[in-house]
Each structure stands twice: as structure tokens, then as C-alpha cells.
Amino acid sequence: MKGVLVAVLTATFVSQSQGVLAAALSLEQAQQLAISEDPNLKGNSYRQQALKSEQYASAYWANPQLSTSIQNLPTDGFSLDQEPMTQFKVGIKQQLPRGDVNALNYQKLAVMSRQVDTQSAARLASLKKAVSLIWLDWYYANERLALLKQEGQLLTQLMDVTESRYSQGLGKSQQSDILQVRLAQLTLEDKYTKAHQALLEARAALSEFYGAPLSSDMTPDNLALGALLYGYTLDLSALYRVVSDSEPFSLLQQHPEARGLQLQSDVQAKQVDIAREQTKPQWSVDASYGYRQDAQNGASRADFVSLGVQVDLPYFTRPKQDADVAAAVSRVNALKTDFRLKVNQLASQAQMLKVRLASLSKRKALYKNGLTNEVEGLAQTLLSAYTADTANFSEVVQAHLRQIQVQDSLLAIHVEEAKTLASLIYLYAPSLEASNHNAMELNHEY
């Protein structure tokens, strides 16, 4: 009987679940599908097209105005040749832009177009992070269920052996041993229910990004940390170097969230220039041709040509225009403050995540190099002692349960480390790529 017990316990911890999966969704596939289905990114492409069209249209002047009239028509006969001042007049008028408003609007729309690009980059980074975090929750719940199933198999097999030993009156087996295993099974059932709930919730949460629920038989694929960098040019080793060596308060100024505020400040700066242009006069030119019929006695009458210039005088509303300029300047200053606040927030998050990653790395090393081997050795030692009737059964159960708990804790650390990396990638990867892009553009100019 003791030999059978040893074989059962050994098989439980050596074997791994080999169930056939109907479908497996990798982290990279989850991100790729979410990006392809994201309405926000699609909407930004339309916004980009709209701004380009507006930018093209902003270079044009206002439409010229065409006018026609019959002037000085006598009311006693309504004859066109009775009075010398009667004429058929055709005129055209063109209003010129006020100062450099058109050019400034063109530049403003160009900055707004870049702002949409930055918003898309921020959305892309945020989307990858959100999908990664939820997928990791899904992965953790799925892997934890597998561990709990192993624990359940262990407890079931131990229960069978314990009942058999108790019924046969072998060794030191007692009824309390059976009750201990049953209590452990009930506790395990609660853990399993919670883990299954977490799995269903995570899978349901992923449907937000796809517009449809995932199949109930779909499971997460194996975790590859490199997939967290999907769509970026750097690898994990480069990321670790950047996180370790870079100054976040400087680098994260290039983050899309911060860069978006900076571009919004540039848009408002153009609005300041446009407000200042409103203090300049606006000119209009017009020309008209007046046709006159010959007199009733046959005398010829000359036609009229008129040329004119008009200008509005905004000087009487100067206080209003000065107030508009002051308001625009204040908005620029407010956005500069928002930019600095955003950089500080991002850099603070980066510092916190660096500390967390270092702590998780230490804990992971402790579990891998120490605790895992220790609990495994303890379980084997107590199992051997129990078969020789020199150890208490409860000690054997607790040792093997502790072995499962250590594996569960190591899994939690591994997933938390992946989540921390996903958050660091969100901060550093787009910032580094934007910084490199700006450097390349600067070198190209020179």
C-alpha cells in the first residue's frame, strides 16, 4: 500500500495536463485583432482626412461676389433710354484675407493633423496595454485552474489511500486524517470557483475590443514576454536597458500623451497669432461696368466703369480684440502647465514600476532558486517518512499542498512581472520611438 501511495503522489506532480484545446489565442493575436477592430483608430483616420481637406481649403480666399442691377430707372415710363443716368450695371467684389489669417489657419490645421497622429499613437499604446493586462488576467486564471486541478487530483488520491488505510487499520491513520483532507477539498472548491469566475470575467472583458464575445472553448496560449512588445522595434533586452539607463522626466516628454498636450499648446499658439491678426484691417476691392443705351434722339451715351476699395476699421473694437488675444495666451500657458504635470505623472509611474519590477525579479529568483526546491524536497522527505510510519499524515498533506501553493505564488509573480513590463512598455516604447524619429528628422534637416 505504501508503494502505491508513493507512485500516486509522484505521478500527480510529474504529469501535466494535456487536454486538447479547441482554440488558443496568443497575446500577440489578441493585440493584433484589437487594433484591427478598434473604432477609435478608424475614427482618427477619418479625422485625419477631414483636417487635410480643411487645410487644403484654408488656403483659398473667400468667394467673389457678383452683382447685377438696373439703376436710375425712371418711374414715369420705365424706359431704358429716357434718362441719361439709367444704366444696366454688372459688378464683382473680392474680399481679401485679413492679414496672414489664411496662412496661419493652414499652419494651425497642419499642427492639428499631427495632433491626431499623436492621439492615434497614444490610443495604440493604450490599447496594447489594456489588452495585454486583461489577457494576462485570463492567462493567470487559466493556469491557476490547471494548478488547482492538480491539487484536486492529489487530494482525491490521498483521500482514497487514507480511507483504505483507515478501514484496514494500517499504521497511524485516523478519522481526523479523512476530515482534514475533506476540509482541504472544500477549501479547494472555493478557490476553483473564484478562479473560474476570474477566467470568465477576463474572457468577457476582452470582448470589449472585438465587438463580439470570445468562444467559450477558446483559451489563452502560452505566455511569451516578447509578445508584449508587439508592433515596436525594440526587444526586451533593449527595453531593460532603456528603463535602467534613461532619465524618465526627459524621455517621457516624447510620450504620446504628453506630446498631445504639447501639440495642443502649439495649436493654441497659432490661435494667438490668428487673434492678433484680427487687429489688422481687412480689404476688399470691387469693379463694375455700367451699360447705357443711346438717347431717344440717337445721341450716343458712354458706358461707366467704376473701381473701388473698401477697408474695415477694427480699431474701435480694440479692447475686445485685446481680450481675445489675452485669453488665447492664457490657454497656451495653461496647456504648458498641463504638459509638465502629465510628464511628472508619467515619470512618477515609471519610477514606481521600476521599483516594482526589481522587487518582483528578486521574489522570482527566491522562489525559483530556493522555495521551489525546498518544498519539493520537504514533500518527498515527508512522503518517504510517512510510508515508513515515522511521519504524521497531516504533515504529508500540508507539504504537498504547500508545493502547489508555491507554484501558484510563482505563477502570480510571473504574471505580475508581465503586467509590470506591459505598463513600462506603454511608457517607454512609444516615447523612445518618437525620440528616435525626431532625431532622424533633425539629422535629415542638417
The angle at the Cα of 14, spanning 11 to 19, to the nearest 5 degrees, equals 95
Q: Based on the structure, what is the number of domains in the chain?
A: 1
Q: By three-state DSSP, how is residue 174 classified?
A: coil
CATH number of the domain enclosing 402: 1.20.1600.10
> Mind listing the pLDDT tens digit for each residue in 419-429?
999 999 999 99
Q: Any idea which residue has 483616420 for its cell? A: 45
Domain that holds residue 38: 2-57+100-279+317-445
The yes-or-no verdict on residue 209 having pLDDT over 50 is yes
- 377 vs 408 pLDDT, higher one: 408
Q: What is the pLDDT of residues 90-106, one digit of tens each?
A: 999 999 998 899 999 99
Q: What percent of the chain has pLDDT over 70?
A: 91
Is the residue at 339 inside a domain? yes
In which band, very low, low, confident or very high, does the pLDDT at 192 lie, cut at 50, 70 and 90?
very high
Is 305 a domain residue?
no
pLDDT over 60 (residue 20)? no
Please report whether residue 212 resides in a domain. yes
Report yes or no: 129 and 423 within 8 Å, Cβ to Cβ: yes
Per the domain annotation, does 331 fall within a domain? yes
What is the pTM assigned to this prediction? 0.82
Mean per-residue pLDDT over the chain, rounded: 86
Is 295 a domain residue?
no
Which residues 6+ apart lie within 8 Å of 380 measured at CB? none
Residue 94 domain flag: no
Least confident of 37-51, 322-336, 379-393: 379-393
72 Ramachandran zone, left/alpha/beta (phi>0; psi -120 to 50):
left
401 in any annotated domain: yes
